[in-house]
Amino acid sequence: MDVGNGSDDEPQVEANNASEAASSGNQPPSHDDYEAWRRVGASSSNQPPVWDEYLRRRMRDDSNWDNMFMLTLAAAEESALPAFKRMPEHNIGLRGRDYIIAILNGHPNNCWKLFRMEIYAFEALCNTLRANEYLTATREVSVEEALAMFAYTVAHAEVQRVTADRFQHSTETVNRHVYAVMIALCNIAPDVIAATHTTGVAPYIQGNPKHYPWFEKCIGAIDGTYIDACVPAEATNAYLSRHQQVSQNVLAACDFDMKFTFIYAGWEGTAHDARLFMDALSRPGIDFPLPPEGYYYLVDSAFPCTLGFMPPYPRVRYHRSDRHSNSSFSGYQDYFNYRHSSLRNVIERTFGVLKKRYRILKSMNPYKVTRQRYIVIACCVMHNIIRSITPNDKIWHKFKNSNLAKGQTVEDNPDHSTHMPDMSSASAQAMAATRDSIAINMWAHRTAH
């Protein structure tokens, strides 16, 4: 065994190990690699490889480093781009101003489908808001576009990001202008939501032999309705209606032209109509439109019987249909309740128009509770203006019939005296006497003919 040659072979073994280690991964050649190759060249009788050739062979298959370098360079260039060169988010199709111009000058059905009103009603609303600078245009949004964003939101119960996509604005811009329109509509509410016929005979009653002359002193109807609400979890119980739905209770009065003459919104769903009624009468600043002396509103049995407010007879069936034979009435009280219901349901039909036009009232967006109250008032303002401009649009036509579907009757009319406020007995007796006089005379006229 030649022991002396072992020292000559050791550098070769070290060199091979170093070379394999350097070639086993994707690491670049290090100083140790270079030293290993230098020792190989110094001890080997063969011609040592050139260092540059080693580097070329070492890096030939290592494409990852080139890719990483290019990606790093691209990221650095992108971060250095100025802000105005970044891609805008809302740049699809016509922007808001041009979009509104196209809608108002296009097919009439487009305006109806988007905003639930005719074109000339939309333009009248814009002029009303523009008058006295209730709503002003900004550099980026016109009055027409602001109203369109609000009308689209409440008509379809859309969230802000959907409205932003429709009108190609940021959600912040949409939120700001929807709020501005809501406040502007609430500011004109005292002028728009007001009684129109306070004396004389309402044209609707005078032209209807079922109601004239019996209800010639009636100026409208009052009732409460539930509007969908979105409240924090801890307040849910207070807003649960008797139908176990989270709602706000809204008290309203309307005339026989189906216009609101009073709106009191924002109460919890657990609040009874009589409680809202008494609060509206007594709270300073509410300005409830009391009827003139001798006139009255029609109310249901949840309200007190007192001067100015005529409920039906308690514990007597309250009819909801005109489909009765001549022998279907048991007496003057039964017949009176039937006619009372037929006339009072104008408030129910008015609520029906309101909720049909504005879907947000049945599916409220998650606004603050105060804002939800203002949404209701703003929708009622638009309701009245649209009614004045287009009295026969599609929704009005659907609800103009005072008769409800066949078979909709309430067989018993329970006494809600446990919820009724303490009223003057003299006032209650006076209104009860008026009700008896109307009922007896109306029944006598029926039996005589």
Quote the tokens at residue 378: 């703003």
Least confident of 197-206, 352-361, 412-421: 412-421
For 223-276, how does the pLDDT look when each residue is reduced to its tens digit (9 = 90+)?
999 999 999 999 999 999 988 999 999 999 999 999 999 999 999 999 999 899
Question: Is pLDDT larger for residue 139 or for residue 2?
Answer: 139
Q: Which residues pair with 218 in a beta bridge?
A: 296
What pLDDT, on a 0 to 100 scale, did the predictor assign at position 395? 87
For 131-157, b/e burial (b = at least 16 CB within 10 A) is eeebbeeeeebbbbbbbbbbbbbbbbb
Lookup: tokens for 202? 């309402």
Report the Cα–Cα distance between both ends of the chain, in Å, rounded: 145
Burial readout 68-80 (b: 16 or more C-beta within 10 A, e: otherwise): eeeeeeeeeeeee
Tell me the residue length of the chain: 449
Q: Is 68 left (phi over 0), alpha (psi -120 to 50) or beta?
A: alpha
**Percent of the chain residues topping a pLDDT of 70:** 72
Say if strands 296-298 and 309-310 run parallel, antiparallel, or are unpaired. Answer: parallel
| Residue pair 120/390 in contact by the 8 Å Cβ criterion | yes
Q: What dihedral do alpha carbons 297, 302, 305, 309 form, nearest 10°? A: -10
The whole-angstrom distance between residue 162's C-alpha and the CA centroid of its chain comes to: 12
Residues facing 310 on adjacent strands? 298
* pLDDT recorded at residue 61: 52
| pLDDT at residue 398 in the model | 79
CA atoms of 234 and 393, how far apart (whole Å): 42
- Interval 193-216: pLDDT, tens: 998 777 789 999 998 989 999 999
**Residue 356: band (very low, low, confident or very high) from pLDDT cuts 50, 70, 90:** very high
How confident is residue 317, by pLDDT bands cut at 50, 70 and 90?
confident
Residue 417's pLDDT band (cuts 50, 70, 90):
very low
With 50 as the cut, is the pLDDT of residue 130 above it? yes
171-186 residue pLDDT tens: 999 999 999 999 999 9
Q: Which two tokens stand for residue 274?
A: 């009589």
Residue of 94 and 323 predicted with greater confidence: 94
Stronger pLDDT, 60 or 167, i.e. the higher one = 167
Q: What is the pTM of this model?
A: 0.75
The residue ranking higher by pLDDT, 369 or 424, is: 369
Cα separation, 247 vs 243, in Å, equals 9
**Alpha-carbon distance 396 to 324, whole Å?**
26
For a pLDDT cut of 90, what percent of the chain falls above it? Answer: 56
Digit-coded pLDDT (tens) for 42-76: 454 455 556 566 556 655 555 566 666 666 766 66
In whole angstroms, give the CA distance from residue 320 to residue 337: 10
| Whole-number pLDDT of residue 29 | 52
For residue 303, pLDDT over 60 is answered with: yes
Which pLDDT score is estimated for 328?
79
Q: What is the mean predicted confidence (pLDDT) over 288-307? A: 92
pLDDT at residue 122 above 60? yes
Whether the CA torsion 141, 144, 147, 153 is positive or negative: it is negative
Q: Domains of the chain: which residue ranges? A: 11-17+30-60, 96-187, 198-367+385-448
When comparing pLDDT for 404 and 337, which is higher? 337
Q: Assess whether pLDDT exceeds 70 at residue 447.
A: yes
Torsion of CA 356, 361, 366, 370, to 10 degrees: 150
* Least confident among 16-20, 185-189, 418-422, 427-431: 418-422
Q: For the CA atoms of 422, 426, 427, 429, what is the dihedral angle to 10 degrees?
A: 100
- Asked whether the predicted pLDDT for residue 5 surpasses 60, the reply is no
